[in-house]
Structure 1
């Protein structure tokens, strides 16, 4: 029996099983088994299995955005409109057959936009070019799911399911669970909060399924058994996602309004170039990039060449971006902007920067 058949059999059993207090352990175990089998699908053994994984696209710019969607939803049209790259676009399906990169210049940052081939249902199992598309998606900083506004919510649910199956978690953060395998001593289980979705017995059963008999587990928040399986596997990718509904010129204004009010959603029309400015604003916001401007002593800040950093960047990160030797000779920095209590504020290497801060570095 192949892996796919085993997965189908377990899925069928889950659908037949009633969800109640008596069956929760059984369902938890079945879900753990499915996650284990999908892991084997994702990581084929031997050279033959690894062949053809991913499209060879060099990472460039300050951030990478992957365009994912079914065929003919307007991914290539969007890339052609926003960048100077030409991606073949036509009204028939599967026009794009490989990954085409383009660069969008926005707020002083170079954002790499990848037009990936349309994926079909069953992509996680390797149908179409699903495996390669998903391998590239895992390396992105943001996923933009392109949807056809005329086809409703079905496309969105199918794509979310495909990405979920390959370990890409959209718009969620990593579960706050500490997990460490040990050489002996059995399973040590603790929770800092009351647990309502999982318990010690469930944790033990899941660990046994993965043949782990010695481990330290600490739940710092109320998580589900699925979250715990994700932590054990350790290869899950948690990333922001933006849903872009295209072809809004073909639906009613009430439907446009309903779609636009959903979280993490932007409505556009690529052919009529409607709302593309707001789309770029949303991409910037979801990427959580910062612009930091530098200043020399006695001179005005350089607002032309800002440094592009990730959210959570400190003064030390700024030093490394300017030159790798600056941090060693660092004495203090003067910062003007939203991250300070007063302007200028004298700060150390661990000071967190905010968007559009100005920094002057003083060396020893």
Structure 2
């Protein structure tokens, strides 16, 4: 045989070894990624009795129709913003870490009671327990929306650091849960099916991730081009997906050109809490991101009560949800409802308890005789 033949064989063998090594490195990396997610979860929510209550938030009773948390580094203006929006006193000073606990306040806006929490300033490494980071971020997990307050002088650097801390604690900002299903079973191995073209996950990748969780039998169905991180999030099952607004404070200290650059950021709202610039615009944006639904009640033979709407979540806005919000026993007495508004074709229209309501609908409940 010619020498060139042995050269070709050797080249093919080296290529095969390289591909195998790269594949092994990829599997190892995915395994470490899954293992890191497990260890972080165990660190933040320890299972042993002697481990204490790490990961618990501040003891603040949830009240109102929605909860919004102010998150940010020290001295970015969170306390000033709370004072201006709610009239609640939260100490303001020129030194860092003025706020050492959670200060709640209430915003009355468009008929809704919105609880606003001034959380202590977090520091880099908060997700790993530095400072009071676990308490701050644990409380942030209970919110319906997060306002990340950034100093206009250095917003991008702080934005990335805070996102990293929140991500590390299982909070996913301005994202929807990945459209995939994961179901454990007793036997049959790992089965992967996909209704879309998957560019990130294949069967070997899925098996490598599942093995770190000691899962050897499961059915996984992908309905989106999910990543390894998406699959880990679903397996972990403790992720929180919530809307977030990046509040750029102290815009009175920057130039118009710098403000125009910041204007290109998504989910952004410029303000000056001290000078009360654009606070109305911020409230409008908070209302938009909370996506609440106002429903007005109409007693029989009377005009609708527009002064005190029933506030529903956009994800739970059926007539049954409306009844539950008024009183838990109302559904038992429910016969049907008359609805005026954009959710019906006729005004009024008789509907059942499964009917989905729209913002500013008027509802009259008819009880069983």
Instruction: Flag whether TM exceeds 0.5 (same fold).
Output: yes
1:25 to 24, 27, 44: 27
2:114 to 111, 116, 136: 111
Deviations 1:314-353 (A, max 9, x none): 0011111222222222222121112122322221111111
User: Which residue of structure 2 aligns with residue 350 of structure 1?
Assistant: 354
In the TM superposition, residue 45 of structure 1 has moved relative to its aligned partner by 3.7
User: Which residue of structure 1 aligns with residue 10 of structure 2?
Assistant: none
3-state DSSP of counterpart to 1:303: strand
User: Which residue of structure 2 aligns with residue 41 of structure 1?
Assistant: 43
> In 2, distance between residues paired with 1:271 and 1:253?
18
Q: State the structure with more CA Rg.
A: 2
1:121 is the counterpart of 2:120? no
Contact between 2:76 and 2:249, CA under 8 Å: does it hold in 1?
Answer: yes
Matched residue pairs, number? 345
Which stretch has the larger CA shift, 327-336 or 92-101? Answer: 327-336
1:202 to 175, 197, 205: 205
> In 2, distance between residues paired with 1:206 and 1:51?
29
> In 2, distance between residues paired with 1:169 and 1:150?
25
Q: Quickly say closer, same or farther: Cα 1:46–1:33, change in 2 above 3 A.
A: closer
3-state DSSP of counterpart to 1:304: strand
2:339 to 317, 329, 335: 335
In the TM superposition, residue 41 of structure 1 has moved relative to its aligned partner by 1.6
| Structure 1 residues 8-19: aligned runs within 5 Å | none
Contact between 2:77 and 2:273, CA under 8 Å: does it hold in 1?
Answer: yes
In the TM superposition, residue 171 of structure 1 has moved relative to its aligned partner by 0.5
1:263 is the counterpart of 2:291? no
> In 1, distance between residues paired with 2:155 and 2:87?
31
> In 1, distance between residues paired with 2:325 and 2:149?
33
2:190 to 180, 187, 208: 187
In the TM superposition, residue 75 of structure 1 has moved relative to its aligned partner by 0.4
| Structure 1 residues 210-359: aligned runs within 5 Å | 210-312=213-315, 313-359=317-363
> In 1, distance between residues paired with 2:327 and 2:39?
46
1:81 to 69, 81, 84: 84
User: How does the TM-score come out when normalised to structure 1?
Assistant: 0.91
User: How does the TM-score come out when normalised to structure 2?
Assistant: 0.90
3-state DSSP of counterpart to 1:39: helix
Mind listing any 5+ residue stretches in structure 2 that lack a counterpart? 1-21
> In 1, distance between residues paired with 2:197 and 2:64?
44
Which stretch has the larger CA shift, 193-202 or 236-245? Answer: 193-202
Mind listing any 5+ residue stretches in structure 1 that lack a counterpart? 1-19
